[in-house]
Amino acid sequence: MNAWLAEVKQKMEGPVETLSKEFAGLRTGRAHPSLLEPLLVEAYGKRLPLGQTATVSISGTRCLTIQVWDKTLVKAVEKALSVSELKVSPITEGQTLRITLPELNEERRKELCKIAGKYAEQARISLRTIRRDGMDKVKRMEKNKEISEDECKRYETEIQKLTDVAIVKIDASLMQKEKEIMTL
C-alpha cells in the first residue's frame, strides 16, 4: 500500500477512536469513571482534563467519588461538574466530591440518543473531509503526471472503501450506544 494511502487510512481511524471516547462519556444508567473523561477543569490558567486534577472511582452502581489532588481546585472541579451535560450536583466533603447519578427517565434517554447521534454525525463529517482531501491529492498527482489515470481510479476506489469501512464502524458504534442507553 502506498505510504500516503496508509496515512489516509490512519487518519480515518482518528474519528472512529474519538467517537468511542465521546461515547464513553455518555451515561448508560450505570456509574463509570469514563463518564467524566471529557470534563475539562479550569486549573492553573489552563483547561485540563479532570483526570489530570483528580482520581475518579466508583462507589456504587450510580455513585462516583472524585478525590481532588489540590484543594485549591475543588471549586473548579465542582463548577466543571455542575455545568457539564451530566446535569449532576456534587456533594463536597473536603477534597472529595461525590456525585449520585439520577435514574435516567425516558425523555433523558432519548436526549442522550440524540447527543450520540450528533457525535456520530461529527465523526462522519470528519471522515468525509479526510476522504475529500485524499481524493484531491490523487487528482493532483494525476494532473501532475505522477500517476496514471488507471492508478488514479484505483486509489479513488481504495479511499472510498476505507471510508465505507469507517462509516460502518461508526454506525455500529452508534447502534450499540443507543441500545445501551435505552436499556433499563
CATH of the domain at 17: 1.10.132.20
Do 114 and 130 sit in the same domain of this protein? yes
Owning domain of residue 9: 3-23+105-182
Do 9 and 45 sit in the same domain of this protein? no
Using only C-alpha atoms, the chain has a radius of gyration, in whole angstroms, of: 21
- The whole-number pLDDT of residue 1 equals 53
Do 74 and 118 sit in the same domain of this protein? no
- The whole-number pLDDT of residue 27 equals 64
The partner residues of 43 in beta bridges, in order of sequence, read 46
- The whole-number pLDDT of residue 24 equals 77
CA dihedral angle for residue 32, residue 111, residue 85, residue 27, rounded to 10 degrees: 0
Q: Which of 69, 100, 131 is the last residue of a domain?
A: 100
Do 83 and 141 sit in the same domain of this protein? no
**What is the tally of structural domains in the chain?**
2
What CATH number is given to the structural domain containing 77? 3.30.1360.40
Angle, alpha carbons 122-32-47 (nearest 5°): 60
List, run by run, the mean pLDDT of 10-residue segments along the chain (184 residues): 81 90 73 77 84 83 84 85 77 85 80 90 94 92 89 92 94 91 75
Angle between helices 3-24 and 106-143 (to 10 degrees): 170
Q: How far is 144 from 6, CA to CA, in rounded Å? A: 21
Do 76 and 113 sit in the same domain of this protein? no
- Write the CB contacts of 137 (distance below 8 Å, at least 6 apart in sequence): 4
Taking the mean position of all CA atoms in its chain, how far away is CA 173?
11
Do 91 and 50 sit in the same domain of this protein? yes
**What are the counts of helices (DSSP H) followed by strands (DSSP E) for the chain?**
4, 6
Instruction: Give the helix/strand (H/E) hosting 103.
Output: none
Do 141 and 118 sit in the same domain of this protein? yes
- To the question of pTM greater than 0.85 for the whole model, the response is no
Do 38 and 7 sit in the same domain of this protein? no
Q: Which of 79, 100, 121 is the last residue of a domain?
A: 100
DSSP 135-147: HHHHHHHHHTTSS
Give the type of residue at 76: A
Q: Which of 73, 100, 127 is the last residue of a domain?
A: 100
